[in-house]
Amino acid sequence: MRVRWIGLTLALALIGAACGYGFGTLDRHEPAMIERAEPVPAESPSIPVDPPPTFAVDIAYPALPTRLPYRTHRLGDPPFFLWRYAAPLGWVRSTTDQPQEYRWRPPDEPTEGGFSLRVKIVTQRLTPEQMVEQKVAAMESTYEDVEIVDRDEDEVYFTYRDGLDHQRHNMFRWFTAPGQTAASFEMSVSGRAVDVPGLKSLLEHVAVSVTKLPVTPAR
């Protein structure tokens, strides 16, 4: 009788083990698949980008031509500060608030917002390179949106925002007398973006005409 109970107990144990294995097999899941992370393209730049500055609309006046007739003039006090230079034929000369400085522009052009040529005698005893440095500092401390487009040891080209929110283009150049290191003649041209080809032509034409006149011996 005892042997029968032992056999029955053993049989029940085997059935329980088989059931447990079956449930364990049913409860076993495959490992979850994890997708590999991929970079997501940004919809907008991660670094803020400032929009380009906007300017007021330029005045409605014809663009500066690249070819003009010229006439020779003189500037300065003889005998030591007398220079010869060319200005466009038919342009009108006006004085500024600086001594020995003239501005030239077409007679029918508005006094603000157009293009012009300016010539000046300078007596600061600075080299052209120092004049460039001084002009850069003055422009950056006076105007907004100043950008140096081109720069050399004796010339500089700026764009900047004027008091009427126009973008202006201004090109300067300095000259020394033969045998001297200090600049004594300054010229500049200014205008709008549409005038740039004409401004470059004007600057070069006037620059090649700039000549220090020799000192005339006293009689």
- Cα(169)–Cα(105) distance, rounded to whole angstroms? 15
Domain residue ranges of the chain, discontinuous segments joined by +: 70-212
Which two structure tokens, joined as six digits, stand for 19?
A: 């059931």
CATH superfamily of this structure's domain 70-212: Mog1/PsbP, alpha/beta/alpha sandwich (3.40.1000.10)
* Cα→Cα distances 95→74, 89, 117, 159, Å: 14, 18, 12, 24
Instruction: Report pLDDT for 47.
Output: 67
What is the per-residue pLDDT for 187?
Answer: 98
Q: Is the pLDDT of residue 112 over 70?
A: yes
**pLDDT single digits (tens) 149-167:** 999 999 999 999 999 999 9
Digit-coded pLDDT (tens) for 190-201: 999 999 999 999
pLDDT band, residue 97 (cuts 50/70/90):
confident
Instruction: State the pLDDT at residue 26.
Output: 42
Q: What is the token pair recorded at 216?
A: 């005339």
Q: In whole angstroms, what is the distance from residue 194 CA to residue 192 CA?
A: 5
What is the side-by-side order of every strand in the sheet holding 101-105? 92-95, 101-105, 116-121, 183-191, 167-176, 155-161, 144-151
Confidence (pTM):
0.76
Mean pLDDT on 79-99: 92
pLDDT tens profile 200-217: 999 999 999 999 998 765
Mean pLDDT of the region 3-10: 44
